[in-house]
Structure 1
């Protein structure tokens, strides 16, 4: 088979799926892209068995049809070095010899039998659920929660994003047991109630692809797999099996101490003060009294310490609470409002972080567990 394609357009499509390719796979075929040409349409597939990404492009100048696996690394690196130009891929399916021909040269490589490439799993129609959502909504849900997922081999359900659907709203949840994010959208709902846990790796694949998508995304899933169909890309992934913990049970409901802070001011202060914290604990202390918020840290072993005062809005009793600086900065970095409401009950209970101004149908809540402050 033979086809002509723009070098930059081919590179764009390959880069979209290349993140799935594992360089350390024990199965050689998975270090390749699967190229399939049929009726002038080129379909490119990459897989690591857990996740499969598919992209397609329509071509004007083609001869023949067929499938072949082409080594991913050398093809990608070669295309990155090309200026924008038409290139011809001439593939002898019997010998699996591949020639990449340009106006000035020819590059030869040997592929593998395309029939050896793993097939995409099929949806179980008896257990299937389907919905259609704006790509921007799914992207926002992933952006808000991905940073809070865990890396816990003992509790794999924490290593993904819980996506819940109901007639009232759609909810994205992630937690690593230190921090928790719950992001709800009232403008996305379904006639049915269901949920699945999207693993972290395919969630990051989706995040990179959805940035360039404008339309809707079709989602279908059963108890084992989920499929995300976009205009030119498709992602199939194996879901995390198991039941997600009851996240609402860990969110404190009665938090009498409400402090309004400027998000960016606190993030900047944390960046400076946390340099003086103990490297093992990364503990910073927040002391709130009236309109003063003092952020402090110290490392007794090295006799260093720092504090900065910021203004805030608070009319409760003075309170002190400790947090891991890196986690607190992450929480504040991912809240959309410039003014943030911090709700506290006491130094031993989780702090709740909410945007001061709600953004239409969005409802976001972030929780951070405190750390003990050494006397």
Structure 2
């Protein structure tokens, strides 16, 4: 069995799905890509379907190739990618011995032999019983992922929080992520479904989508009880959903926040980055002191006698107050917003603060909640 394909086309497609391959997989066969060639009845050409899996997430991509017979083989992912990365653009011929699974890559001036594995050992592609499907633009999906995935938890003892909650209904779609210290709610009114559903998509699957989604292409998302599938162009990602109960996030969002500060996002972010250099290395604690149209940001590290403060102009006519935040978490939230002006809505120093873009895009609603840290001046 053999096929001919452009080295750069093959490399580009393999790089899209390579993120799935685990460094230390549970089963050794998962260190491989599964190559499956299907030749049409007229034998004029063939389609190469490449699959990568870690049992939880599976990605496939299809590439047109020159081939005269159908067949399949598992080829070591790292070895193949390293070889293709070092080759200049050219057609490569891949010869496969279907009995020994020996694989030979022939180029204009080279020959590379590697040993493949029996494709029968590779896990079967999971099926998605299409209970529900939603069509969207990749730009909408990328925006939702970029605004939420950074706030997912890495604590495996709370599995529900290691993914992003997606709530679909007939008038909007809501994406929610939290790690216990901050909560992001991203809502789209231009994305709706015929029926209501609530699922938790794992962080790894969303990070893979973020890395491989091209701009402005149609994406078909399909959901069943156990799996989610995202199809765009020749690529498909299927992931197992997190079967856990997501925290009741609505109750965590304070509703009465009379103290509202409006300030330039980049001004606040740049000031935070400077001040946090002087904050305690463990807590990253900074203090926001608010008075009429004035904000003072300060930090101190008592262990090293370091301290810093900056004064910024802002729009604020609420009560004079002091509130503490983790500067690292707050800076990350601000970095993921794109608005020029943001509002920080607060009620009391021991209640969560809400970061909301002052200038919103159409069909988009973003709310970012940051929990305060207790300052030692509290009674």
Match of 1:70 among 52, 68, 75: 75
Which of residues 88, 110, 113 is equivalent to 2:115? 110
Question: What is residue 19 of structure 1 aligned with on the other side?
Answer: 19
What SS does the aligned partner of 2:51 have?
strand
Q: How far apart are 1:213 and its partner, in Å?
A: 4.5
2:113, 2:64 → 1: CA distance?
24
Structure 1 position 266, deviation (Å):
1.1
Deviations 1:55-92 (A, max 9, x none): 01112x21211000000011001111011111111111
2:133–2:193 CA contact under 8 A, matched in 1: no
Q: Contact conserved, 1:323 with 1:370, CA < 8 A, in 2? A: yes
Q: Name 1:197's counterpart in structure 2.
A: 200
1:78 and 1:99 map into 2 onto residues whose CA distance is 12
TM-score normalised over the length of structure 2 = 0.96
Moved more, 113-122 or 361-370: 113-122
Matched with 1:320 is: 322
User: Is 1:188 the counterpart of 2:188 in the alignment?
Assistant: no
**Counterpart in the other structure of 1:266:** 268
Structure 1: tracts of 5 or more residues without a match: none
- 1:216-295 paired onto structure 2 within 5 Å: 216-295=218-297
> Over the residues paired in the alignment, what is the CA RMSD in angstroms?
1.0
Do structure 1's residue 45 and structure 2's residue 48 form an aligned pair?
no
Partner of 1:58: 64
Q: Which residue of 1 aligns with 2:43?
A: none
Q: Is the 8 A contact 1:213 1:230 kept in 2?
A: no
Counterpart in the other structure of 1:169? 172
Name the structure 2 match of 1:303: 305
Aligned residue number for residue 120 of structure 1: 125
Q: Distance in 1 between matches of 2:218 and 2:235?
A: 12
So what's the TM-score if we normalise by structure 1? Answer: 0.97
**What is the CA–CA distance in structure 2 between the aligned matches of 1:157 and 1:351, rounded to whole Å?**
23
Query: Which 4+ residue blocks in structure 1 deviate beyond 3 angstroms?
Result: none
Is 1:84 the counterpart of 2:89? The answer is yes
1:220-246 CA-partner distances (Å, limit 9, x unpaired): 111111111111100111100012111
Q: Deviations over 1:231-270 (max 9, x none)?
A: 1100111100012111111100000001001111111111
List per-residue Cα deviations over 1:8-36 (Å, max 9, x = no partner): 11000110010100121131110000000
Query: Aligned partners of 1:236, 1:343: CA distance in 2, in Å?
Result: 39
Question: How far apart are the structure 2 equivalents of 1:2 and 1:89?
Answer: 5
User: Within 1, Cα distance between the matches of 2:136 and 2:91?
Assistant: 36
Q: Distance in 2 between matches of 1:208 and 1:112?
A: 28
Structure 1 counterpart of 2:331: 329
SS at match of 1:141: helix
- Taking the aligned partners of 1:91 and 1:63, their CA distance within structure 2 comes to 13
CA distance in 1, matches of 2:289, 2:328: 18
